[in-house]
Structure 1
């Protein structure tokens, strides 16, 4: 059955009670339509929370111009703010929805220990109305994704995902293409179809997942991911044919693709996004940079309709709220709002955030007043009941899991995905450089080389492999394994030519440069350095590409061959690194390294195949010489090899943080 036919054949269903939330904001954009007002609606939204249930460290420019160190966000603050917004919306006579743009999974010690179960528990207490299906929801397998989808009390949405052939998800009724809500005063009531709405206004929320999910996530089974634009238009057309004119897209595509969606699909009123971690708006006082404007309006291809785009950052640090007004014909004529960063009352002079660096009590009131006056910021108390659940049910096991102290740093070692963002300079992430150094160091240890038979020339890691900063203070094994490098990351060694390396870097860097692009693929390096310049056409130009041979930097020669180390995920061609898969399409000398029962184990490959599914999307499948795949889930085996390398590296270099690392990555923007 064609996708468009499947859409038309959908039955209308609903599975979650609505929660009221609200919005207020000075930022507004308008279509200019001056018609009698119809529906008013508020959208409260979050995305890319990545199981950051506790507050995360941050810094802010203080009233004296010097930085203050603090903590922001966390799910107890999210809940408090959502409830405040709900009360405000209700008081203003406005109905509202609370939406999640996907990627609740992965990124904290809580998740590493409790996986989908803690997300079921905590998110069910949040009052969400719907969530988009994110790519990291696949990180722990389809069976656990199915458990999550079946047990959350809100629908998980993806209009372009066909589950028919995948046994584990085919019968999960709560994983659906869209959800209908009927406006009942200041509340939303559940309806199965228009007939049950009894003349009330209906709002439809449909989801979109990444169309290239199979090339990003190895474990997608028999799911089929259809094209985002075509699926969106087919869904909108079907809903409009049923008389539904208020349509919201809840997406996990990234801001750049959301913009494309608005410009290529007619009929979407608002896109509530995720994936690119875009904290839309100006947050320079929080050292978080300035991103594209919140509530941007883009014209649809029909030249008449306009779509409002919003997204709310990452790690449960902020909440977005958009206020919508429609005319009596159901056309959007106003979209206004902003993201609000959720601040705490704890402020310190030093990044260590020790009690002796806490601001004086005489400064507390002045500081709080100053913070509350910052635009797009609100000091927000934690919800006490949710805090109690985290403290009593989950936190004791998390504390125990951190293990022994391996290092300490007086300053936060920052990680950003793209150089020049998040307060970084043209060299970008300091932490990524150290991690790539650790990979190079670990693989070139005599004991490891004796097992692999390979000397690594240089290493590369993608920014998205790294999930957190390394905060100031004592560093425990758990900080590395549970927060910074939580993925199963076997290390791969393969041979590439200089020309293939140059092509890889050009493609991957270029893909991160457009405004709003997903930057998790951006490459950081050790014993390899490059200078990339953004050209007028928006592409990257490599002005320097060298490797460190002994003590001397040498130009990479196009015809010469080199031993590259990276993670197996990237070596397979995932996340836009497809040039590496193409290099291995016919054959490869690659080996993957894991730890089995505390011993190194080597897995040679024959090739990496590109498998195309019925929708035309590709998955990259490594074919091992003597195994069907890596035994990462076997008890006693450890595939977090990048984390093990970083832990060993920190133990071997106790003075690491006192030494300045020479940058190996330079990105010069226009």
Structure 2
């Protein structure tokens, strides 16, 4: 059995408990493994810092866990990795990761050993362990993505090459007579192959029979079998499994070996937890945590969202918090800029930046609660300021746009500035212009040789998401951590606004070789009101998935409507000074048009 990327989603832990008990009732010797990222993601983590998750993992008798990148999120906090060290010490199971070196952090002194153990102790870290299952020795080693140094806050903890360390682990197991080997990984199923992923691991390293993965949040409904190496030559099979995210599923895989330790059959599934009954014991334990969470979560902050502040994601190149301006990103950065200026008494801080990967959830329409705000910014980041030249700012935005139009967790949302780029140009040459608002409230161009002060979160300021230009500034002492909680800053800013109306302002525009930029917007953010219709200057692409209507807008360009619909959609009170295109809408439904004016052609 296996889980991964649960991210402190404990509301369904009683159902996970039921699923595990059901499997054990049929197969009592089943292993139970976790592929990392238990930390970060909900109020359960913010309030209890892993202790709630750990109580259930101990209850469920996990056999081993490897580390995900988010286990290292607290490294830049005042307490450093103390919560992680306490989590390890309190576990009734061992931790494994062959490519993570904890030796430079004193908090892990006595917990970490660079060995493979056949008699592992609970609450200790090993390269790998040997378990005996039905009289057979099974070797299990762990791997954590090398990208952790760029996307989390590991501090002095070092991440080594995953291929080399995997080869060492396999050799060590085989030297002890173990021919059934599991890699418990947090490197991603098909993540960036230039860094690390399970597919590359399976085709490169001989001797791995099963890879239980995480990090990419991949839903592998059935095991994937890799039986060819990098040269397309036949190899012994390697089975890869991964169980999506947030404890939505329990993964379960059975593997049969021949007498030489070669995989001959495999059968696996993802058990959907939502359909299962709650385990009574687990539900009772959860209550002591959930009662506290509800009390914190339901506390109003004194602000109301007049419509949803969405946090879109995409599987391709559609609008996303990681590739496009969003109303929520605008509000977050506005709050950062205001707080940084007020705290430092320095109105010359010209802009604020927030990485899209750090914005984890949206905010529903209506009264905004503490719980919602913390879920938006769950990583415990603090506000920081940086001194940069105009040339360095340009370098930073080149990094921000390098994956465009694909998603990038390092995509920068901005306040106090307007940035234009061209996603059709080569990487490193995409920034067209960067303008900031001067003391006269006029947008002026950044100058390469001038020095500027900007605000961001401490993770980004220290070079997270591979912002080497920021890392250099940090190492040179040009970063000041103000020590102010990001979610508290956001809550304060929202409360100051009281009534929140989501708006896109053209702060970040892809000009695409001088064409009118496409404005990409989710359907929930598209509409204005009868008295005050929204005006869009340029072509608009609106995704109407999961909305019942769009209305009250003026489009000074083409309007392209996309998305998948299951119910009839009402499109009303819209003026299009160009073409209207609905050909990309999918689903069985009828569209109802009321008071639509189109200057150009209509394509349905």
TM-score w.r.t. the length of structure 1 is 0.64
2:295 aligned partner: 400
Partner of 1:131: 65
Task: Give me the CA root mean square deviation.
Answer: 3.5
Answer yes or no: is the 8 Å Cα contact 1:300–1:307 preserved in 2: no
Q: Is 1:180 the counterpart of 2:119 in the alignment?
A: no
**Aligned match of 1:209:** 144
Q: SS of the counterpart of 1:575? A: helix
| Structure 2 match to 1:62 | none
Matched, 1:49 2:49: no
Q: Distance in 1 between matches of 2:176 and 2:509?
A: 53
Residue 332 of structure 1 is aligned with which of 257, 263, 270? Answer: 263
Residues 1:234 and 2:168 are matched in the alignment: yes
Q: Residues 482-516 of structure 1: CA distance to partner in whole angstroms, max 9, x if unpaired?
A: 422233322222233343223223335547989xx
- Select which of 470, 480, 493 maps to 1:591: 480
Structure 2 residue 485 is matched with structure 1 residue 660: no
Any residues of structure 2 matched to 1:469-548 within 5 Å, and which?
469-480=362-373, 482-510=374-402, 519-526=408-415, 527-531=417-421, 533=423, 542=430, 544-548=432-436
Query: 485, 493, 505: which is aligned to 1:649?
Result: 493
Partner of 2:96: 157
Q: CA deviation at 1:109?
A: 1.9
- Change in 2 beyond 3 A, CA 1:540/1:155: farther
- Among 225, 249, 260, which residue is 2:200 paired with? 260
* 8 Å CA contact retained: 2:401, 2:430: no
Q: How many Å separate the matches in 2 of 1:211 and 1:415?
A: 27
Aligned equivalent of 1:269, options 182, 190, 209: 209
Structure-2 residue corresponding to 1:579: 469
Cα shift at 1:207: 0.8
Does the C-alpha gap of structure 1 residues 397 and 512 become closer, same or farther in structure 2, counting only changes over 3 Å? farther
Label 1:249 to 1:564 Cα distance change in 2 as closer, same or farther (>3 A): same
User: Per the alignment, do residues 554 and 267 of structure 1 end up closer, same or farther by CA in structure 2, a change over 3 Å counting?
Assistant: farther
**Aligned residue number for residue 196 of structure 1:** none
Question: Is the CA contact (8 Å cut-off) linking 1:109 and 1:398 kept in structure 2?
Answer: yes
Structure 1 segments unaligned to the other structure (5+ residues)? 1-43, 55-73, 185-199, 282-292, 344-378, 595-638
Q: 2:444, 2:201 → 1: CA distance? A: 44
Match of 1:111 in 2: 45
CA distance in structure 1 between the partners assigned to 2:183 and 2:410 by the alignment:
25
Whether contact under 8 Å (1:418, 1:522) holds in the other structure is no
SS of the residue 1:413 aligns to: coil
Q: Is the 8 A contact 1:420 1:428 kept in 2?
A: no
Shift of 1:410: 6.4
Q: Distance in 2 between matches of 1:411 and 1:320?
A: 37
Match of 1:83 among 4, 10, 21: 21
Shift of 1:442: 3.0
- SS of 1:97's equivalent in the other structure is coil
Q: Tell me whether 422-431 or 644-653 shows the greater mean CA deviation.
A: 422-431
CA displacement, residues 399-432 of structure 1 (integer Å, 9 cap, x when unaligned): 3334443223465533356785798596375533
Report how far residue 646 of structure 1 moved.
Answer: 1.1
- 1-side partners of 2:493 and 2:108: how far apart? 41
Q: Find the partner of 1:278 among 190, 199, 218.
A: 218
Question: Could you tell me whether the CA contact under 8 Å between 2:397 and 2:431 is conserved in 1?
Answer: no
TM-superposed CA distance for 1:387, in Å, is 1.7
Report the CA distance between 1:230 and its aligned residue.
Answer: 1.0
Is the 8 Å Cα contact of residues 326 and 504 (structure 2) preserved in structure 1? no
CA gap 1:211/1:431 in 2 versus in 1, 3 angstroms: same
Q: CA deviation at 1:238?
A: 1.3
SS at match of 1:231: helix
* Distance in 2 between residues matched to 1:271 and 1:508, nearest whole Å: 32
> Which residue, 421, 434, 459 being the options, matches 1:569?
459
SS of residue matched to 2:247: coil
Q: Do 1:267 and 1:300's aligned partners in 2 also have CA atoms closer than 8 Å? A: no
TM-fit CA distance, 1:530? 4.2
What secondary structure, in the 3-state scheme, does the structure 1 residue paired with 2:169 have?
Answer: helix
Q: Which runs of 5+ in 2 are unaligned?
A: 112-120, 513-517, 519-604
Structure 1 stretch 153-162 or stretch 410-419: which is displaced more? 410-419
Query: CA separation in 1, counterparts of 2:399 and 2:457?
Result: 18
Residue 236 of structure 1 deviates from its aligned partner by: 0.8
Alignment of 1:248-327 (within 5 A): 248-255=182-189, 256=191, 257-258=196-197, 259-280=199-220, 295=224, 297=226, 299-301=228-230, 303=233, 304-327=235-258
Q: CA–CA distance in 1 between the matches of 2:277 and 2:428?
A: 44
Deviation at 1:329, TM superposition (A): 3.0
Give the aligned partner of residue 373 of structure 1: none
- The whole-number CA distance in structure 2 between the counterparts of 1:541 and 1:418 is 25
How far the C-alpha of 1:152 sits from its partner, in A, is 1.5
Which whole-Å deviations, capped at 9, do the CAs of 1:64-90 have from their partners, x for residues lacking one? xxxxxxxxxx22222223333444657
Aligned-partner Cα distance in 1 for 2:149–2:276: 39
1:363-420 deviation digits (Å, cap 9, x = unpaired)? xxxxxxxxxxxxxxxx2333232122111x2223223334443223465533356785
Give 2:351's aligned residue.
Answer: 458
CA distance in 1, matches of 2:100, 2:303: 45
What's the offset of the Cα at 1:143? 3.7
Equivalenced residues, count: 483
Separation of aligned partners in 2, 1:512 and 1:180: 44
Aligned-partner SS, 2:349:
coil
Deviation sequence 1:437-464 (CA, Å, 0-9, x none): 32123334xx44xx34242322211233
SS at match of 1:401: helix
CA shift at 1:330, angstroms? 2.1
Distance across 1 between alignment mates of 2:88 and 2:434: 48
Residue 567 (structure 1) shift: 0.8
For residues 275-330 of structure 1, give each alpha carbon's deviation from its aligned partner in whole angstroms, at most 9, with x where no partner exists: 3333457xxxxxxxxxxx96263743584244333332332233333443444432
Does the aligned pair in 2 maintain the 1:51–1:105 contact within 8 Å? yes
Query: Greater RCO between the two (CA within 8 Å, min separation 6)?
Result: 1
SS in 1 for 2:10: coil
Contact 1:134 1:209 in 2 (8 A): yes
CA 533–432 in structure 1, closer or farther in 2 if over 3 Å, else same: same
Aligned-pair CA distance for 1:99: 1.6
Give the distance between the partners of 1:154 and 1:213, measured in 2 at CA: 23
Residues 507 and 310 of structure 1: CA distance in aligned 2, closer, same or farther (over 3 Å): farther
The CA deviation at 1:49 is 1.4
